[in-house]
């Protein structure tokens, strides 16, 4: 997220605070989550607006064969990532936009700097399918209008065959991936 940056909480303090609870923070780094004989690689990229994002460091060691999801706070960063330079993740998850928060009919939704062209939902024209969550919070004004909060839950499945289709709920299908992810 970005609130740690706004609050002046540095990485060492955040790790000291969250570490005892078993939380591993991903600052331009990768973690592997194992459940039984399945492994999911999660790539975390530092906040592009207030942090120091480094996708080269974050994706180091990836070969493109393992199921992988990228997480980045501000979605506008995704458009600047060269497609040919990194192994394609199954999906990229982002937030930051609050979905526009106050959505007046016939007006373009306001999104904060770092959002780029993204507001909310699935986008299939980036490095990998990108989901931008509206989240549950607000910024500046403690209200939402025509923009309900959301806490998306995704169902992950190992594909039965290499190159299975990533199915996005309500949005049709997206390009090939070794992982299936569906928004419930």
User: Following DSSP, what letter does each residue of 70-100 receive, concatenated?
Assistant: EEESSGGGGGGS-GGGSPPPSEEEE-SSGGG
Q: Rounded mean pLDDT of 39-57?
A: 94
72 near 97, Cβ under 8 Å? no
Question: In the chain, helix, strand, coil percent, each to 5?
Answer: 15, 30, 55
For the stretch 169-183, pLDDT in tens is 334 444 445 566 666
> How far apart are alpha carbons 115 and 100 in whole angstroms?
10
Task: Say how far apart CA 49 and CA 74 lie, in whole Å.
Answer: 7
With a cut of 60, say whether residue 72 has pLDDT above it. Answer: yes
Q: Which residues, listed in sequence order, are joined to residue 182 by a DSSP beta bridge?
A: 155
> Rounded CA gap, 37 and 160, in Å?
15
The pTM for the full model equals: 0.85
Residues 135, 151: Cα–Cα separation, whole Å: 6
The domains of the chain are located at: 3-153
CA distance 172 to 167: 7
Question: pLDDT tens digits, residue range 78-109?
Answer: 999 998 899 999 999 999 999 999 999 999 99
How far is it, in rounded angstroms, from Cα 152 to Cα 95? 11
**CA 145 to CA 139: how far, in whole Å?**
13
> What six digits make up the tokens of 181?
């992810």
Contact indicator for 165, 176 with CB cutoff of 8 Å: yes
pLDDT tier for residue 166 given thresholds of 50, 70 and 90? very low
Residues 1 and 73: beta-carbon distance below 8 Å: yes
Is residue 32 within 8 Å of residue 41, measured between CB atoms? yes
């Amino acid at each position: 997220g970005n609130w740690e940056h706004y609050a002046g909480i540095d990485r060492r303090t955040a790790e000291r605070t969250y570490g005892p609870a078993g939380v591993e923070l991903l600052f331009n780094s990768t973690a592997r989550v194992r459940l039984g004989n399945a492994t999911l690689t999660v790539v975390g990229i530092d906040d592009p607006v207030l942090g120091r994002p480094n996708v080269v460091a974050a994706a180091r060691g990836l070969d493109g064969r393992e199921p992988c999801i990228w997480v980045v706070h501000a979605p506008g960063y995704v458009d600047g990532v060269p497609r040919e330079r990194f192994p394609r993740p199954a999906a990229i998850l982002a937030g930051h936009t609050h979905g526009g928060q106050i959505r007046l009919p016939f007006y373009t939704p306001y999104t904060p700097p770092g959002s780029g062209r993204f507001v909310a939902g699935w986008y299939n024209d980036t490095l990998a399918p990108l989901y931008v969550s509206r989240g549950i919070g607000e910024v500046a004004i403690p209200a939402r209008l025509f923009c309900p909060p959301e806490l998306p839950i995704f169902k992950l499945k190992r594909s039965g065959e290499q190159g299975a289709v990533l199915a996005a709920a309500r949005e049709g299908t997206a390009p090939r991936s070794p992982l299936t992810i569906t928004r419930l």
